[in-house]
């Protein structure tokens, strides 16, 4: 998956990160908090702050300790909440850390780690556009139109 963009739910003004499957027109919207949206957007836009934000600090600490973030994964949707994990490699040992998707994604954009989503999560919550979408502006506009017609509960598992 790749981070396709960050937008806002027009009704509740809640930030949404939009993940796109690399090999298809499937998009996974995940509602996130404002601080995490800012952290993701800042890094995607190449902006920086005079002092490190929390996710910058975490990435710096991992680097100094010679710990590599090897991947982040959106692992499941349970009781209307997305779950994620951060995979780390340290001293020849692999470690999995439970995480909110927003924090995992904020770390991924800082570390360059690949982003994955479980097949079950994609099957349950992804939106698929029926035609090829190559124009980012077109996708963003269609997604905003779509967001105007739905609410977060429409994506939550039964």
Nearest C-alpha neighbor of 85 from the set 63, 55, 109, 115: 115
Report the phi/psi class of residue 91: left, alpha or beta, with left for phi > 0 and alpha for psi in -120 to 50. left
pLDDT tens figures, 93-136:
999 999 999 999 999 999 999 999 999 999 999 998 876 655 55
pLDDT at 80: 87
Residue 33 tokens read as: 């908090």
The answer to whether residues 88 and 95 touch, using CB atoms and an 8 Å cutoff, is yes
What gap in Å lies between CA 46 and CA 23, rounded to an integer?
A: 26
Task: Specify the DSSP class assigned to residue 105.
Answer: H
Q: What is the pTM assigned to this prediction?
A: 0.81
DSSP per-residue letters across 99-137 = E-HHHHHHHHHHHT--EEE-HHHHHHH-EE-SS----HH
pLDDT at 156: 47
| Length reported for the chain | 158
The answer to whether residues 84 and 101 touch, using CB atoms and an 8 Å cutoff, is yes
């Amino acid at each position: 998956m790749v981070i396709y963009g960050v937008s806002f739910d027009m009704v509740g003004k809640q930030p949404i990160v939009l993940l796109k499957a690399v090999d298809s027109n499937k998009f996974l919207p995940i509602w996130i908090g404002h601080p995490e949206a800012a952290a993701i957007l800042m890094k995607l836009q190449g902006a920086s702050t005079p002092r490190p934000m929390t996710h910058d600090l975490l990435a710096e600490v991992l680097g100094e300790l010679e710990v590599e973030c090897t991947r982040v994964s959106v692992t499941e949707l349970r009781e209307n909440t997305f779950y994620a994990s951060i995979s780390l490699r340290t001293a020849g040992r692999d470690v999995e850390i439970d995480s909110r998707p927003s924090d995992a994604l904020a770390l991924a954009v800082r570390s360059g780690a690949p982003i994955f989503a479980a097949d079950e999560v994609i099957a349950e919550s992804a939106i698929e556009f029926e035609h090829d979408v190559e124009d980012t502006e077109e996708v963003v506009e269609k997604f905003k139109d779509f967001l105007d017609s739905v609410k977060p509960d429409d994506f939550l598992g039964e």
